[in-house]
Chains A and B, each alone.
Chain A
Amino acid sequence: MSVISCLRLSSLRNNIISPTKCLITVQREMGHGGPKKMVITASRWQWHKYKDLLHFYTMLGLIPLGTLVFAINVFIGPAKLAPIPEDYNPKNWEYYQHPISRFLARFLYPSHQQDYEKYLHFVYEENEKKQMRLLETKVKEMMAERGDSQAFYYRPILTKYHRYVRKVYDDLDDTRGY
């Protein structure tokens, strides 16, 4: 027993006169045979899911992107190679041939020059740190080897706790008398 909306094409022809009859129950006319049974079949869920996914990826992916790429390749086309004119500095996207690559280079990706200069700066900073660390280790080694500098191996003694203890002892002396 299935319920079909009256907007379906087959029933439009029948019910076009009276739109009130908008939900009809359709019963299959198959010659009234036998008692009602529940037919046990294997699941067709995987097949239905496959069709669903196929339609999804085709409609949303293949067709729009396919037509876009086709249109770009046919109506814009790849660039022609030319020698760089005198006194002209090409922009960073003019070094690519395909229009989509040019688009990505122009609006999405950083330029080669920017990457290169950032890399050089990074290398410079890391090298500064490296030189300082090398200097530190060398100084430590020298101090350990010669042992003539108080700087690194000197263990300072804090006197504030000794002062506090003495003060407590003095106070006890004053109050108790011994």
Chain B
Amino acid sequence: MGVGDPLNQFEAFVNAVGSVFDGPVTWFRESVVDKNRPEYYWYHRQFRRVPTIDECYTDDIVCFVEANEQFKRDRMVDNEVLSILRQRHHDCILYEGHDHKEKCASIKEQYDKAAENWFIKYGDLGVYGDVKAAYMKQKHRLLWERRHGPVGTGMKNPME
């Protein structure tokens, strides 16, 4: 018995009913459509890397616009990556059920780290947050870290 064979008569009957609709369509596809179609391709658009915002002069608007577009594309890619990691975590929870706290720990840690990094780079920029805002956010974070130590260890007293 092959994998796709019906297990019992009822399943065979249901398959037969389905083939009333499926049969003609499949026949049409295989005999008419597949024989006459030409073979041609389409491609996904690939964008070259352009200079980032830290390599642009302050009065160079074209450089800024290109860096902004690249930033938006990179943010879209990062959003999708994060979605995939989140979906992996959710699938693991669904699969493991009540054991998910131990079984899915590594996946959860992977997702949490990725989410934290995403928030460091793109979080709290607001609706109008462009690449300049993200760059300034990074600059402020580095200054803060220079003054107070790593983020998460508290602020130092200015008197110190």
Contact = CB atoms under 8 A, between A and B. Distances in A.
B62 A123 contact: yes
Chain A contact residues, majority secondary structure: helix
Interface stretch (A10-18, A74-82, A146-154): A74-82
B10 interface: no
A76 B37 contact: yes
B37 A82 contact: no
A112 interface: yes
Interface residues of B, number: 18
Nearest to A73: B33
A125 to B, nearest CB: 10
B62 A94 contact: no
A7 interface: no
Interface in B23-56: 32-33, 36-46
Given A74-B33, A120-B65, A123-B61, A95 B44 contact: yes
Size category, A interface: 20 to 34
A95 B61 contact: no
A80 B38 CA distance: 10
B65 A82 contact: no
A95 B37 contact: no
B66 interface: yes
Interface in A64-116: 74-77, 79-84, 90, 94-97, 102, 112
Contacts of A96: 42
Nearest to B65: A123
A84 B46 contact: yes
Interface string A33-74: 000000000000000000000000000000000000000001
B99 interface: no
Interface of A: 74-77, 79-84, 90, 94-97, 102, 112, 119-120, 123-124, 127, 131
